[in-house]
Amino acid sequence: MGYLKGKSALMMFDKHANLKYKFGNRHFWAEGYYVSTVGLNEATIKKYIQD
């Protein structure tokens, strides 16, 4: 997953140069993870990703 996040962040910075100024340290993704044992559904995951 780290490889995908790293490559997608570099692509975003290359395509949208203005983001380099907003995220000067080139850290585009937040650290974290999602864990669930019950009640997992697509709507819950989408909400987690959007927030």
Cβ atoms of 19 and 12 within 8 Å: the answer is yes
Cβ atoms of 36 and 44 within 8 Å: the answer is yes
Question: Which one of the listed residues 21, 33, 34, 48 is annotated catalytic?
Answer: 48
Answer yes or no: 33 catalytic.
no
Give the SS3 label for residue 26: coil
> Which positions are annotated as active-site residues?
48
